[in-house]
Structures are given as C-alpha cells and as structure tokens.
Amino acid sequence: MLEERKRMVEDLVARGYIKTEKVKKAMEKVPREKFVPPEHRMSAYLDQPLPIGEGQTISAPHMVAMMCEVLDLQRGMKVLEVGTGCGYHAAVVAEIIGEEGKLYTIERIESLYKKAKEKLKDYRQIKVIHADGTEGWEEAAPYDRIYVTAAAPEVPEPLKRQLKVKGKLLVPVGRDRFYQDLLLVEKLSEDNFKTKNLGGVAFVPLIGKYGWRF
C-alpha cells in the first residue's frame, strides 16, 4: 500500500495540512494500515477517521498532520500523548522527535493499550502506559509538548502543570459531543498561559478524573 500512502501524503501537502519536510517524511514512513483493524485496511489511506474498537477511532490523516505541524515538534523533545488509541499518531510523532526524543503515551482502555504496545514495540523512544491520561504522567514531567487525542470539557489542569515553561499543549475542548474547539495552550511562565483557538473539530470524549465522567 506504499503507493496509496504516497498519494495520501501528496494530497495533504497540496491541501496545506503538511507544511514541513519532517512531517511529510514521518507520514510517508508510518504504515497506517498496520494500525487499523483488518476489516478497515482497504480504507487506511482515505482521509477520514476509522473505528478501532471500544467506541474509539483513529484520527483522519489530515488531523494527525495538522496537530504535528501546530506542535512544532523537534528532534530530542520529550512529549506526552493523552489517548494512544491504536498507536498511529504516536508512531508519526516518534518519527519526528527521533530516537533521541521520548514519547510517553497514555491509554485508558486496557484492550487498546495492549494492542498499541505491541504495535509500537519497535520504537525505543515510546513508552506506552495504561492509566487515566487526564491526570498526565507526573513521573516524567515536565514535557516540551503535550497533545490530547480526545475532547475534554475543559483543559485538564494536571496537563498545564506538567508542561515546561515555553512548552505547548494541544487539546480539543468543548461540552458538545459532536463539536469542539482545538486549543493551543502556550505556557509563558508557571502560572501564565496564552490560549489560541485553532477552530472546530470533532473528537471522541476524553474520559477520566479531569475529563468527562459517564
């Protein structure tokens, strides 16, 4: 499916979602078909979310590309991902930050955690954790970048605390189940943050102590 992957990346470049060579190379390298359930592999390179079980989805490729670009990921960075899902987004980020970087990724649902851990086992820079991601991962804090792949009713406070000064946090926020705003939060000092609204998105709910409680 290499040709389909190349076409997908070319399309994302043409549509302006991929802007940098590092994001382009990462998305060219990571095989999305490896991370989707077998019954959806023929749709792996369509630019749309796909179900991965447990009511969760793999984000559309354009959203993965956009989030990577907005975060301005650099080699060697320490990154926290909240919501591993199938592991695809984590693999793309790992390619960008390189083996000298470190990505901690947290998944709440045990079955998805186990599958993602197996699929990501070749990435030495990734640590997959089974926990409540809304609480972050204090033991490895602070982080250069934090991003969330599910929608919170508000920005979880632990994630703001665990961000380095001058770090960036990207999180979908909103109380509507079908529409949220993608917020970019920059930490200017320990208690001073700047927030930019990047526009409307649609993510599954972020469930946990500092997220939704259904």
The predicted model gives 72-89 an average pLDDT of 98
- Give the pLDDT of residue 175: 87
The predicted model gives 145-164 an average pLDDT of 97
Q: How far apart are CA 212 and CA 214, in angstroms?
A: 6
Domain 2-201, CATH: 3.40.50.150
Please say whether the beta carbons of 91 and 98 come within 8 A: no
> What is the tens place of the pLDDT at every residue in 14-26?
999 999 999 999 9
Q: Give me the active site residues, please.
A: 59
Torsion sign over Cα 178, 181, 186, 188: negative
- Give the pLDDT of residue 214: 66
Q: Is the pTM of this model over 0.85?
A: yes
The residue among 113, 69, 115 whose CA lies nearest residue 92 is 69
Q: How far apart are CA 66 and CA 81, in angstroms?
A: 15
Q: Where are the domains of the chain?
A: 2-201
The predicted model gives 66-90 an average pLDDT of 98
Please say whether the beta carbons of 78 and 102 come within 8 A: yes
Axis crossing angle, helix 88-97 with helix 61-71, rounded to the nearest 10: 30
* Core vs surface per residue 127-165: b (16+ CB within 10 A) or e: ebbeebbbbbbeeebbbbbbbbbbbbbebbebbbebbee
Torsion sign over Cα 97, 102, 108, 112: positive
- Check pLDDT > 90 for residue 82: yes
- Give the pLDDT of residue 178: 79
> What is the tens place of the pLDDT at every residue in 90-134?
999 999 999 999 999 999 999 999 999 999 999 999 999 999 999
Q: How far apart are CA 206 and CA 126, in angstroms?
A: 21
Please say whether the beta carbons of 206 and 133 come within 8 A: yes
